[in-house]
């Protein structure tokens, strides 16, 4: 290598390779090889390996304890980006999604919400905030806005055990069509961190998604904050 | 609303709506309306508006100063997810991407890297680490692994001013094909934070991408850490 990489760079390289194996469940019984073996595999010093493991520990992927060694604790789930799906649909292989409705009700659409939903400013819209859990562990905090004619019937449905997508298709009598999605990495503010049971400043994947019905009408504007340590977005792209 | 949302929830709702307008450049001269006007628009108390603005300030999107008011300082760029593109290709409308090669050279492929690149363990691979800037501001830290027969010719090219994708297509005499992409939100460790000029723990979008040639051969495995405050991934999904 030219110039010689510093130890921190080397540690990150090792951590990137191990991260993949940790997330793929490659280690038998979830136990990583000891530092000496990892050092031999990566042609790295024990200090570099130790630093790499510390990076993975800080990301919440592994835990280290004397006697027990280094074990995988990550519970990170893949969320496909090649088809529009609700969370429970996406994660059905991984467990049960439940939703705690934190707030719900009718509000007046402000400028940007009205514009995105194709409604006049001041129109009634339904606002629903849900804390979503996978296997009882907090996964995301979702804020959803819907036009009143769609959102009001939705409020009468079982929002605890159903994806909004599934309910919308039933209420509207047509499938959903296309969604525009924006994704950013942000730090959790203290309040969101508390709700999602994350350390303050913990990394979140913030997803803004505007979903249309098959006929093109925008019906569902969501702001979704996923815990960064619990989800990987996956996509296949073509050149 | 039922039950009454707490002020922190209300602040986040306002912040989510404003975030969109900030990123879209909706405010004339990049100046936001004052707290009183925003409070009227959102039907919210001044305290809730102030708290919403504080959330956007903490995300690095706005700055507030007495006399000047609230101004947009975000420089956040859209990165499309519907087609496989290099960074300079993706961001060409937004400015000039330059790459600082921090390390480069030939290393022996360890288990997971060899497997993903379809090579025997111990095979020579080329490793390149680049700090990528857009208009001279740090945007991402990219670690790239390539098979030696592709990577060695690449090292002779102008990596400072070109996307690896463009160079690879020239070297290999065929277009790139498909890439598998995984995206996660993580906190920057102190070393990466220093390299990217971020606060410690700042949110990063960590992208792992394995790119194949059109003939199916895997040729480019990258681990990319984007500054969360400078990039939005955008996609259109169909049901």
Tell me whether A25 touches chain B (CB under 8 Å): no
- Name the residue in chain B with its Cα closest to that of A200: B201
pLDDT per position as a tens digit, A17-44: 999 888 888 888 899 999 999 999 898 9
Best residue in B61, B115, B185 for a mutation probing chain A (most A CBs within 10 Å): B185
ipTM value: 0.89
3-state DSSP assignment of residue A184: strand
pLDDT tens track, chain B, 239 positions: 444 458 888 999 999 999 988 888 888 889 999 999 999 989 899 999 999 999 999 988 999 998 889 999 977 888 888 788 888 888 888 889 999 999 999 999 988 899 999 999 999 999 999 999 999 999 999 999 999 999 999 999 999 999 999 999 999 999 999 999 999 999 999 999 999 999 999 999 999 999 999 999 999 999 999 999 999 998 888 88
> Which residues in B lie closer than 8 A to residue A231 (C-beta atoms)?
184
Q: Do A20 and B208 touch (CB under 8 A)?
A: yes
CB atoms within 10 A of CB A158: 8
Handedness of CA A11, A17, A19, A21 (dihedral sign): negative
CB contact under 8 A, A110 and B17: yes
CA distance B183 to chain A (A): 5
Q: B227: which strand partners?
A: B204
Task: Note whether A223 contacts B: Cβ–Cβ < 8 A.
Answer: yes
Of A17, A112, A226, the CB nearest to B20: A112
Ordered by where they begin, the domains of chain B are 7-72 (1.10.10.10), 77-234 (3.40.1410.10)
- Whole-number Å distance between alpha carbons of B225 and B75: 17
Contacts of A219 (CB under 8 A, 6+ apart): A117, A146, A147, A150, A168, A172, A176, A211, A212, A213
A42 Cβ under 8 Å from any chain B Cβ: yes
Q: What HEC string does B48-93 produce?
A: HHHHHHHHHHHCCCEEEECCCEEEECCCCEEEECCCCCCHHHHCCC
Sign of the CA dihedral running A192, A197, A131, B180? positive
Q: Is A205 on the interface with B (CB under 8 A)?
A: yes
C-alpha distances in angstroms, A91 versus A144, B169, B215? 20, 37, 32
**Alpha-carbon gap, residue B174 to B168, rounded angstroms:** 8
In Å, the largest CA–CA distance within chain B is 65
Residue whose C-alpha is closest to residue B56's, from B71, B40, B41: B71
Q: B5 CB near a chain A CB, below 8 Å?
A: yes
């Amino acid at each position: 290598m030219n110039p010689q990489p510093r130890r921190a760079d080397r540690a990150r390289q090792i951590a990137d390779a191990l991260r993949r194996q940790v997330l793929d469940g490659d280690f038998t019984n979830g136990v990583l090889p000891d530092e000496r073996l990892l050092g031999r595999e990566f042609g790295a010093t024990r200090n570099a390996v130790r630093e790499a493991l510390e990076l993975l520990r800080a990301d919440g992927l592994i835990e280290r304890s004397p006697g027990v060694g280094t074990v995988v604790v990550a519970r990170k789930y893949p969320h496909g980006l090649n088809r529009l799906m609700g969370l429970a649909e996406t994660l059905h292989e991984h467990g049960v999604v439940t939703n705690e409705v934190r707030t719900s009700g009718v509000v007046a659409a402000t400028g940007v919400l009205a514009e995105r939903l194709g409604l006049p400013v001041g129109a009634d819209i339904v606002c629903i905030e849900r804390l979503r859990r996978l296997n009882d562990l907090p996964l995301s905090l979702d804020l959803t806005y819907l036009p009143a004619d769609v959102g009001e019937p939705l409020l009468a449905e079982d929002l605890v055990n159903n994806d909004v997508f599934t309910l919308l298709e039933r209420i509207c009598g047509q499938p959903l069509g296309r969604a525009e999605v924006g994704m950013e990495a942000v730090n959790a503010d203290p309040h969101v961190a508390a709700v999602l049971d994350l350390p303050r400043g913990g990394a979140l994947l913030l997803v803004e998604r505007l979903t249309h019905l098959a006929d093109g009408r925008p019906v569902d504007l969501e702001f979704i904050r996923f815990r960064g340590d619990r989800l990987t977005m996956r996509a296949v792209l073509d050149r």
